[in-house]
Each structure stands twice: as structure tokens, then as C-alpha cells.
Structure 1
Amino acid sequence: MNTDHLRAFVLAVDEGTFDAAADLLRISGSAFSQRIKALEKEVGQVLLTRTIPVKPTASGEELLRIARQTILLEDEARRSLGFRGSSPNYRPTITLSVAVNADSLASWFIRVLQEAATWDHVEIHAHAEDQEHTHELLRNGTVTAAVTESPVPVSGCRSEPLGIIRYWPVASSELLDRHRGETGEVDWAQVPQIDFSIRDNTQRTALQRLGVSTPAVTHLLPSVQAYNSAVGFGLGWGMIPESMLPAGVLEGQHRDLVIIEEIGPEDVPLHWQHWTTTTPALDRLTEAVKRAAAHLG
């Protein structure tokens, strides 16, 4: 397959429109469309929906990972051979797309980004997703590697353990007091809960230990900073990583926030999954992730 056609295909998926992808390649929209049509003619399948945003069809998803691997291998080969293109200062840029859960991205994974800041001609494209679902982005070819909860490697990938994130159930004392009955017991079905997203099962799973399947109120806050702050404000209870807990909470010395002893902590194992076919850039990323993950619990 023509790698120019594969590159156009991948950029269309990443950018969402043919025009935006064509601008990155510095070619006309019609020339870009011809590359996509030529690729679809070669494989005998429609690979992209002509919608906004552009999405891969089922056949396109099958090709997407292969296309990314091919492009990454070509770019690495060009770098190793000192390919300069038409400019003496040109170096192919290596793109590493990674799926990372939001809590990791806001904490220990920052050390990976600090290392990546010293790498020339390498760009990191991070996709934030719940750790229960990051492997899906690896499976459909959206990313090269992923921090995932699942230890079972996606087909064509390797899986390596990183460590655990310990989550603690936390709530405002004032919030809990407002939902106590005459006996002093908290009515957990009435205590508002905070989820990071509709795919976030952490709180729901923990609440089931108390025999409650669905709370009366569930807030959605897809921001780590906003989520943790909202728990502190008493908007609802939530599960917060140990490394992000305010000082004094674990020791029972915080002026308002308390650990919910009835639920207790939950340890979430993390794994690093990446393509079996590696490149120097992907290997370097893997080593950086391992070093950063050494700071996990």
C-alpha cells in the first residue's frame, strides 16, 4: 500500500475532516480526496464515513492500526537513515498516540511528559479515557499504547504491570450529617455521588458494597481538578486517588473531609499495553512510563 495514502487515511480520522487533514499535508482538498479514493479502491472497501467528524467504517477500523504502524515504521526508518527531504533542517516527526486515564494523566504520568520534553521531533498525542476503557482505543487503532486496567493484552500487543492506584472514598462531614436518620445512620441512597463520566464505574461499584445500586443524585464532572474540588465543597462523595488527597484526610485530621469507612479503599491495577511491533521511539516511551510508574503505590 502507498504510505502517502495510508497517512492521509490516518490524518482524516485524527483531524475529523478532509480539509483539516489536507492542510496538514499541504495539499489541496481534491488531491487529498484522490488519495483516500485510491486507497479505498485498492482494498475494495469504503474506509471512511463522509460525515463530520469523519469516522472509520468497520473495514477502516481493521486497517487503522496497520496504517499507524506502517507510518511509524516509515518515519523511524527515515530518521535512522538521516532523510532530510527537500530541506537540510527537515526531520520526520514521530507521533506517539497514547490512551491514559485522567487520574494518571494528572499525576504520575506527568513525569513521562517531562522526559518527552527533551525528545526532538517526537510529539505525544494523549487521549484521556477511563482505565477500564483505554484498551478499546488500542484495539481499534486509535492509539499506539495505553495505560489500562486490563492485564489481558489486546491482539498484537504486549502487556506489562505498572503498579496500583489506591482510591479512597471521601465525603464532607457536613454532607453526610445532612443525610443521617434518627439512628445516626447515613442514608446512602440519598447522598449525592460524583462520577467522572457516564462510563466511570468506580463509585457505583463501591456503593454496591453498601447495598445501594443507584443513588438519587449523580453529578458528572469530567475534570480531575473540578472533581476533587467538588468533593471538598460537599457537592457529593467520590473516590479520590491517595496521591491527590488533601493533607490530613487519611489521618482523620481534616477540618471537614472524612474517609467513608463503610466503603473502604479500592486498589486499581494499571498495566502498560503497546504494540508488539516496536520502534525506538515507542521503546523510549515505554521506558519512560516504567520509570514514572515506579512512583505509584
Structure 2
Amino acid sequence: MNTDHLRAFVLAVDEGTFEAAADLLRISGSAFSQRIKALEKEIGQVLLTRTIPVTPTESGQKLLGIARQTVLLEDEARRSLGFRGSSRNYSPTTTLSVAVNADSLASWFLRVLQEAATWDDVELHLHAEDQEHTHELLRNGTVTAAVTEHPTPVSGCRAEPLGTIRYWPVASRELLDRHRDEGGAVRWSSVPQIDYSIRDSTQRTALAALGVTTPAITHLVPSVQAYNAAVGYGLGWGMIPESMLPAGVKEGAHRDLEIIAEIQPDDVELHWQHWSTTTPAMDRLNDVVRRAAARMT
């Protein structure tokens, strides 16, 4: 397969439109479309939907990971040999797409970004997703590496443990007091909870242990900082990483917030999964992630 065609395919998925991808390659929209059509003719299947944003078809999903690896390896080979040639399609930087759960991205993974700020030959494209689902982005070729709770390597990948994040169930005393019965017990079926997203099952799993399957109210707050603040305001109860707990909460000395005694803390073991086929840029990222994760807590 022609690597120029594969590069066009990857850029179409990443940029969302043929026009934006063509601009990056500095070619006309017509020339870009011809590359996609040539690739689809060679494969014998439609690879991209002609929608906005462009998305890969089922066949395109199967090709996407291979296409990313091919483009990455070509760029690294040119770079290591000091060869630019006449191709306008060669990128002087390596693009590494990485899936990271939001809590890691707002805490220990910031050290990765701090060190990557000194690199002038790597582009990081970060995808925020729940740790239960980041491996899906690795499997379908959207990313080259992921922070995930799944220890079993995705096909064609390697996995290694990073460490554990402990999540504590936290609520405002005022919130809990409003939902106590006459005997003083909390009516958990009526206490609002806060989820990070509709795919966030952390709170639902914890409540299930108390026999509650459907909370009365579930707020969605897709921001780590806003989520923690919402718990502090008493919007609902939620699971907060230990490193982000307000001072005094764990010790029982906070003026309003408290650890919920009826719900156990949740220890989430994180793993780093990445393509087995590595490059110098990928090796560099792997090393930085390991060192940053060593200071996770």
C-alpha cells in the first residue's frame, strides 16, 4: 500500500474533514480525494464515511492502526537517516496519539507534559477517556498508547503496570443530613450522585454494594476540577482520587466534607499499553510515563 495514501487516510480521520487534511498535506482537495479513492480501490472496500466529521467504516477501523504504524515508522526512518527527500508529505515531527483517563491527566500525567515541553520533534495528541474504556481507542487504532485499567495487552501491544489510584467516596455532611430517615440512616436511593460521564460506572458500582441500583438523581460533570468542586458544593456524592482530596477530609477534620463510611474506597490499578513496534519517540514517551507514574501518589 502506498504510504502517501495511508497518510491521507490517517489525517482524514484525525482532522475530521478532507479539506483540513488536504491543507496539512499542502495539496488540493481534489488530489486528496484521489488518494483516498485509490486506497479504497486497492483495498476493495469503502474506508471512510463522507460525513462531517469523517469517520472510519468498519473496514477503516481495521486498517487504521496499521496505517498509523506505517506512517510513524516511515517518518522515524527518514528522521533517523537524516533524509527528507522531495516528498511534501513527510512530517518533521512524530505524532503520538495517547488515551489518558481524566484523573491521571489532571494529576501525575502532567509531569509527562512538563518533560514533553522540551521535545521539538514530537506532537502529542491526547484523548481523555475513562480508564475502563481507553483500551478501546488502542484496539481500534485511534491511539498508539493508553493509560488503562486493563492488564491484558491489546493485540499487537505491550502492557506494564503503572501503579494504583485510590478513590474515596466523599460527600457533604449537609447533603447526607438532608437524606436521613427518622433513625438517622442515609437513604441512599434518594441521595444525588455525580458521574464524570455516562460511561462512568464507579459510583453505580459502589452503590450496588449497598443494594441501590438506580439513584434518584445523577449529575454529569465532565471536568475533573468541576467534578471535585461539585462534590464540595454538595451537588451530590462522588469518588475522588486520594491525591485530590481537600485537606482534612481523610482525617475527618474538614468543616463539611467527609468520607462515606458505608462505601468502601476503590483501588484502580492502572497499566500502560503501547504498540509492540516501537520507535525512538515512543521509547522516549514510555520512559517518561514510567518515571511520572512512579510519583503517582
TM-score range, shorter chain: over 0.9
Partner of 2:100: 100
1:162 touches 1:294 (CA, 8 Å); kept in 2? yes
The amino acid across from 2:238 in the alignment is G
Q: 1:14-93 counterparts in 2 under 5 A?
A: 14-85=14-85, 92-93=92-93
User: What is the letter of the counterpart of residue 121 of structure 1?
Assistant: D
Aligned 8 A contact 1:172 1:257 in 2: yes
Cross-structure match for 2:161 = 161
Q: Distance in 1 between the 2:152 and 2:186 partners? A: 39
Moved over 4 A (4+): none
Partners of 1:28 and 1:57 in 2: how far apart? 24
Query: Which 5+ residue runs of structure 2 have no aligned equivalent?
Result: none
Q: How does 1:70-149 map to 2 (within 5 A)?
A: 70-85=70-85, 92-149=92-149
Question: Secondary structure of the equivalent of 1:96?
Answer: strand
Contact 2:75/2:91 (<8 A) preserved: no
Q: Give the corresponding residue for 2:266.
A: 266
Correspondence for 1:11: 11
Give the structure 2 partner of residue 244 of structure 1: 244
Provide the C-alpha distance between the structure 2 equivalents of 1:165 and 1:218, rounded to a whole number of angstroms: 23
Tell whether 2:237 aligns with 1:234.
no
Please give the secondary structure, in 1, of the residue aligned with 2:249: coil
Change (3 A) 1:15 1:91: closer
Contact persistence 1:196–1:227 (CA under 8 A): yes
After superposition, give the CA deviation of every residue in 1:140-184 in whole Å (9 maximum; x if it has no partner).
Answer: 000000000000110010110001100000000000000011100
Deviations 1:250-289 (A, max 9, x none): 0000010000011021100000000011111101101100
Q: Secondary structure at the match of 2:289?
A: helix
Which residue identity is paired with 2:142? T
Superposed CA offset, 1:51-76 (max 9, x none): 11111111101110000000110111
Equivalences for residues 199-218 of structure 1 within 5 A:
199-218=199-218
1:94: Cα distance to partner? 0.2
Q: What is the one-letter code of the residue matched to 1:185?
A: A
Contact 1:170 1:239 in 2 (8 A): yes
Cα pair 1:166 1:241 within 8 Å, conserved? yes
Distance 1:231 1:91 in 2: 45
Distance 1:14 1:91, change over 3 A: closer
After superposition, the C-alpha distances for 1:45-100 in whole angstroms (9 at most, x for unaligned) are: 1100111111111110111000000011011111101124569xx97110000000
Cα distance in 2, alignment partners of residues 48 and 223 from structure 1: 31
Instruction: Give 1:72's aligned amino acid.
Output: L
Structure 2 residue identity aligned to 1:282: M
Shift in alpha-carbon separation, 1:199–1:91, aligned structure 2, 3 A: closer
8 Å CA contact 1:83–1:91 kept in 2: the answer is no
Percent identity over paired residues: 83
1:163-217 CA-to-partner distances (Å, cap 9, x unmatched) read 1100000000000000011100000000000000000000000111111011000
Please report the RMSD computed on the Cα atoms of aligned residues, expressed in angstroms.
1.2
TM-score (norm 1): 0.97
